[in-house]
Amino acid sequence: MCSLSALCSLLAGSGPRLSSQERGAVLALLHSSAVTPVTRQVLLERLDARQERQFLSEAEFNRLRAAAVRLVPHDPAEIDVIGPLDARLHSGLSGDGWRYADAPPDAEAYRTLLAALPGGFVTLSGEQQDEALRTVQSSHARAFEDLLSELAETFFAHPLTQHRIGYVGFADAPGWPNVGPNELEAREVSHGGQ
């Protein structure tokens, strides 16, 4: 959660104009009666959530940010996908309830993966970063798979991402009386990019 709400607003507002339009659409739907209060609270908090680095070193955190931008392309000023991961590692809790028995604990596995990226990774071009990521995808397969899955969960759970893939399932307070193909409610037609 962001502790400095003024800064958060600033960060959120600093994205491209398209982003602020999308943000407006998301907020309008979240504040409508189609969303239950408990769901609204969760998604509003996530929309602007920013988490300070707690666990990884600054260099590791910067590498993770750069890698995440390539793995799940996004603007880090708009969506924080690495803060939750860092916070999870800090908590010592498992992210998903299991890990491969032949892999070290998540924190160690992720740190090893980040360390295996080439020097100056954060300043490489996007294509060079992709090439480096493909290399660690082979050399550190388990850790790469876990990292990709964890980042994908956070990224696709974000209200802006969900808006962009045309997902409206959270607006379920009225129920979904029609469930057949192409049987859309008005709020499904109007919301999100498709």
Partner 1 sequence: MAGSDLPVDLPSDLDVLVIGTGAGGSPLLARLAVSGLKVAALEAGVRHPPSGIATDEVAQAGLFWMDERLSAGADPLAFGRNNSGRGVGGSTLHYTAYTPRAQPDDFRLRSEFGQGVDWPLDYADLEPYYEEVEQFLGVSGPETYPWGPARQRPYRHPALPLNGAARLMARACEQAGIRTSPAANAALSRPQQQEGYGERHACTNRGFCQAGCSVGAKASMDITYLALAEAHGARIIDGAFVTELTLTNGRVDGAVFVRNATEQRLKAKTVVLSAGAVETPRLLLRQGLANASGQVGRNFMAHVGVQVWGQVDDDLRPYKGIPGGLISEDTHRLPGIVGGYLLQSLGVMPVTYAAQYARGTLTWGQQLIDHMRGYNHVAGINVLGDCLPYEHNYLELTGELDVRGLPKPRIHFSFGDNEKRMGEHAETLMRSLWASIGAEQIWALPRAAHTLGTARMGHDPAVNVVDAYGSVHDTPGLWICDNSTYPSALGVNPALTQMALSLRAADELIRRIRA
Cα dihedral sign, 30-23-46-168:
positive
CB closer to partner 1 out of 13 and 134: 134
Residue from 43, 64, 113, 143 in contact with partner 1 (CB under 8 A): 43
Number of residues that bind partner 1 (CB under 8 A): 56
| Unique residue bearing structure tokens 């892999």 | 103
Applying CB under 8 A, does 99 fall inside the site for partner 1?
yes
| Unique residue bearing structure tokens 């407006």 | 24
Cβ atoms 112, 140 nearer than 8 A: yes
Residue from 60, 77, 152, 187 in contact with partner 1 (CB under 8 A): 152
Find, among 128, 193, 144, 137, the residue nearest to 164 by Cα.
193
Of 165-184, which residues contact partner 1 (CB under 8 A)? 165-170, 172, 175-177, 179-182, 184
CA angle (163 as vertex; 84, 17 as ends), nearest 5: 90
Residue from 5, 94, 123, 190 in contact with partner 1 (CB under 8 A): 94
Applying CB under 8 A, does 1 fall inside the site for partner 1?
no
CB closer to partner 1 out of 77 and 107: 107
CB closer to partner 1 out of 13 and 181: 181
- CA distances 171 to 91, 133, 168, Å, are 31, 37, 6
| Span of 5-13, 24-32, 50-58, 70-78 interacting with partner 1 by CB under 8 A | 70-78
Of all helices (H) and strands (E), which one includes residue 139?
A: helix 126-139
Residue from 6, 33, 58, 101 in contact with partner 1 (CB under 8 A): 101
